[in-house]
Structure 1
Amino acid sequence: MNKKLIVVAVATLALGIGIGSIRTGNSSIEAHANEAAEHAEHAEHAENGAAAEGEHAAGEEGHLTLSNEQITAAGIQLIEAGAQSINLGLPFPGEVRFDEDRTAHVVPRVPGVVESVSVNLGQSVKKGQLLAVISSQQISDQRSEQAAAQRRLTLARTTYEREKQLWESKISAEQDFLQARQALQEAEIALNNAQQKISVLSGSVVATGGNRYELRAPFDGVVVEKHLTPGEVVDVTSNAFILSDLSRVWVTFGVSPKDLTKVQVGKPVTISAPELNAEVVGNVAYVGSLLGEQTRTATVRVTLENPQGAWRPGLFVNALVATDSREARVAVPETAIQTVEDKPTVFVRTDDGFKAQAVELGSRADGQVEITKGLESGVQVAAAGSYVLKSELGKASAEHSH
């Protein structure tokens, strides 16, 4: 009720009281005065209630009044919603594994006893670095066999040269020369055989001298498993060390048959690890042609460069395989989307602040979200810092509810 109307009403009632007092006296005057005061009080309460209802309605509409200084202080950044290409993808849970092409099982080539171990578990080693020394009777036997074969060859070669000269000089028979040549050839074969027995120790195993041989690193890597201790008896079935080059790792994940047509070799894959807050892009390097008996999925592999060693084998990751791309008419960053009253909402910039606008979402990819309904291209919305506006809107709604 308007305050002027209240004054007129009070004046009218006072006039009526004055006229009535002539007939009824002082008691009637007091009754009418009290009634006028009550009418005025009810009118004031009605006006205050109407104002409160107006403020509550404004809060429900999602309007927030903020100056430019307040927006800057709150760290709110504005972006313009617009058309954008959205890369669609299929998400899969994956795991970081050793690159099996750069993982070696270093094993003893002959039985023996471990004399010393020079590396520890988890240690980085260089190609050719000493890992362990093993003593073996078999090594001693092979060296003796090689030495004997070398001496027999020397003797056979000397005999052959002498018999050749005698035969050419017509002093000895040809049969003696042929026997000497055959003996020389047999000695050469015996030496080659002995040398081949020793050569099996090449590569990651190096023979030193006597009855000892060394295990050495075949390439730069990390000792990921170690199963040797000094004094331990080992044979060719013992798994002494496992070395892996962690500068490159694999990410593997399973794909069901219905999605195999969308996952092909060469497709881009975004690998992310929430625990590390890290993300990297690779390509599908291998798609298995067989389905696992337990999982009934095909194994897909992505090769990742890992120069800093951050992607550790055993880490669970998310793999998003790019399958297609589409042109979204309106798209905004994911940071612009907040949930208000269980609805996806963006905060649209207005002349005096922001307005909460419910929207419908479409595809998501690369940190962008497609808006299919509720927002037009070219409109400015809050991106980074939009959660501050959601918090302020919640406070305003709580205050109005009281």
Structure 2
Amino acid sequence: MLRFLHILLTGLLGVLWDGVTAFGGVRLVDGESKCSGRVEVLLHNQWGTVCDHGWDPREANVVCLELGCGLAEFTPHGAVYGEGSGPIWLRHVQCLGHESSLTRCAVALHNNAYCTHENDAVVKCSGTLLMPTLTLLSPHTVFSPGEAVRFSCSILQGHLSDFHLYKHGVSTPLVTQRADQTQKKAELTLSDIETFHQGSYSCQYRIKSGFPSQLLSSPPSNSINITVVELLTPQHWYNTSTEAPAGSVIKGHNFNITCSTPQQYPGGSFQLRLIRSNGTVRQSLPALTPSVTFTFSNAQSSNEGYYYCLYRVQLGGRTFVSRESQPLPIAIRDPDPVLSPMGISWLVSGLTFVVAVVILIIVAKVLCNKEKKPTELERETRTCKFLFPSEAFKLLTEMFVYPE
């Protein structure tokens, strides 16, 4: 609280100071590059130094950003880049960190602290904005459609404007989170994800820099890959002998059920579930191809019921299961009695009997015509009476046993 009041009071003095004088700019001198060295400001066309009393990363960051040199890496005290010469223009600078220029920060015009060029403020800047760090807050990297993915984007220091989450290959951010002046990280959430969200992600932040103020974008962070698993409902069908009616299998015959899905993942498997009156039976086969076939031989009543197919896979420590297919009802029917061995036996016997009767009738007519040699008149008027099978059989027997 005391610091805030002090900044407020010195800020008012700074406004008065800024009103009667005009600073011409800020520079870093005698460092390893243009982004490190002793801090100097221009006033009345003369360069002077800044006293490091009260100098901390907030003031250093304002200088680095004003010069387009990223953020301050360290802010040592003492003239480590050599002592300056000329006036000490600023003796006690108090920045909040969001100012566009060091000369826009509050200053104490009349500070009794003793300050010489041995106390010249120095700074070493990163040269560019520091790379942020992207972390995954969600406990896994594999997701189903409709879930949310939570990331965190953070930096070590700096007064940020906003954070952005980017998907590689997409130029516009998918998520943007505003940041306050003290914020060093932000949570970025992808809600209700779909399959097109699968891919690699990184984050960036933007920060106000320079005078006049502008927004600079940081380099992209590290990358994190996420996978979105979408399992389609499998299709299934069955095959059996052609004489079986639709939806059924003849008892004792073979049949098979095929499960298929176009969406495949490594290590997936198909599961076939049979729901019957006395319980549920499950079978599983690895999905080495888009379709697998479950084979059943010698069908029995225990194979009757409703069959369902589903696809399952384990990825990233999670198990994903598709929706079940529509039910496939299969009934087990007894063989047709006409085609049974007993039916065939009866059919053969019946046909044999019919053939025998026909033969006996023909033979009986022949025997009737051969009884006597009739006269011409008898041949014209005589008719042969019909013989029943038993009579024909008797005559046939007599013909063979007692031939004429």
Higher relative contact order (CA 8 A, sep 6+): 1
User: Is TM more than 0.5 here?
Assistant: no
Q: Which has the higher helix share?
A: 1
| Length-normalised TM-score, structure 2 | 0.21
